[in-house]
């Protein structure tokens, strides 16, 4: 089974408080975009989980999340099932695009099918939360308002339609634990229900929403890595209707509703960054 594990951008991200278990309570708008890693999964009769990868090199820091997802699902069903997972890594690592979480969700969904486990979407989301706070979102994908750790989801009508998303990754790996550890919650912007009320409207004004959107991590990350802040400014100066850092960074996205990105902007950013134009 060949599947695409599409990544996401955060149109809005507010960190509210640290929870007793070490996670943080947040409010965010997830928006899936059609660019991601490629995964090929087939069954294996030897009862083992085999994994191989190509594309962007994956740090050898432990078991890959695809394998963890397969092991988790196998433990849940109590069967000695095996599989072979081949991952082609296209999404930059440490970019705030949710590539690993999307891979995990894709494996959970695929093996639920291949192994005929008949787990419900809710059961897959619960399992996915053990692998990462935003894995549940990728079970359904699309566009969603998320609360709690990111697992309390309310589906939204897509806020970005047609046009092009320009992803720019400056080859700076932002550690998510570092970002949360150094974020001063006393300085984050106040969040309220106004943004949710707006984005939950079926015909919410994108322009109205974008005036309220913010990412609490931007001030922290831009101070340490000013070049990332410059990328956002270049996006806006280059005609992006909306631009922000995704998640805890370091990728920055720009939304161009016209469907075209200025060639000069692409050329400038492409000299020192990973650049990917994604058509919606």
Q: How far apart are CA 270 and CA 262, in angstroms?
A: 12
Residues 11 and 179 sit within 8 Å (Cβ to Cβ): no
DSSP helix/strand/coil, 197: helix
| Dihedral sign computed on CA atoms, order 124, 125, 127, 131 | positive
Q: Which of 6, 37, 103, 134 is catalytic?
A: 134
| Helix%, strand%, coil% for the chain, nearest 5 | 35, 30, 35
Q: How far apart are CA 80 and CA 96, in angstroms?
A: 34
Q: Is 249 left (phi over 0), alpha (psi -120 to 50) or beta?
A: left
Residue (of 4, 157, 130, 145) closest to 75 by Cα position: 130
Task: Tell me whether strands 252-256 and 242-245 are parallel, antiparallel or unpaired.
Answer: antiparallel
Q: Which of 8, 89, 109, 232 is catalytic?
A: 8
Known catalytic membership, residue 230? no
Counting Cα atoms < 13 Å in the Cβ hemisphere of 191 gives 20
Helix runs in the chain, H state only: 65-77, 99-114, 121-129, 135-140, 176-182, 193-199, 206-212, 217-224, 226-237, 263-270
Known catalytic membership, residue 8? yes
Q: How far apart are CA 123 and CA 203, in angstroms?
A: 31
Residue (of 54, 7, 51, 65) closest to 33 by Cα position: 7
Backbone angles phi and psi of 178, in degrees to 5: -60, -45
Give the residue numbers annotated as catalytic, written as ranges. 8, 134
């Amino acid at each position: 089974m060949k599947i695409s594990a599409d990544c996401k951008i955060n149109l809005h991200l507010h960190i509210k408080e640290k929870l007793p278990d070490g996670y943080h309570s947040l409010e965010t708008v997830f928006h899936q975009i059609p660019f991601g890693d490629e995964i090929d999964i087939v069954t294996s009769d030897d009862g083992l989980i085999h994994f191989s990868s190509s594309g962007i090199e994956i740090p050898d820091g432990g078991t890959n999340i695809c394998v963890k997802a397969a092991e988790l699902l196998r433990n849940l069903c109590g069967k000695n099932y095996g599989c072979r997972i081949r991952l082609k890594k296209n999404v930059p690592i440490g970019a705030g695009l949710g590539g690993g979480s999307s891979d995990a969700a894709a494996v959970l969904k695929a093996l639920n099918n291949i192994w005929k486990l008949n787990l419900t979407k809710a059961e897959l989301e619960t399992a996915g939360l053990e692998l990462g706070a935003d894995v549940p979102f990728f079970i359904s994908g699309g566009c969603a308002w998320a609360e709690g750790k990111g697992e309390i989801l309310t589906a939204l009508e897509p806020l970005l339609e047609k046009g092009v998303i320009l992803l720019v990754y400056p080859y700076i790996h932002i550690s998510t634990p570092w970002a949360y550890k150094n974020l001063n919650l006393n300085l984050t912007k106040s969040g309220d229900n106004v943004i949710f009320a707006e984005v939950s409207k079926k015909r919410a004004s994108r322009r109205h929403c974008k005036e309220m959107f913010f990412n609490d991590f931007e001030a922290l990350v831009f101070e340490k890595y000013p070049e990332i802040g410059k990328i956002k400014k270049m996006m806006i100066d280059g005609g992006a209707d909306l631009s922000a850092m995704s998640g805890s960074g370091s990728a920055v996205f720009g939304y161009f509703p016209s469907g075209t990105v200025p060639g000069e902007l692409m050329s400038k950013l492409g000299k020192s960054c990973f650049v990917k134009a994604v058509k919606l």
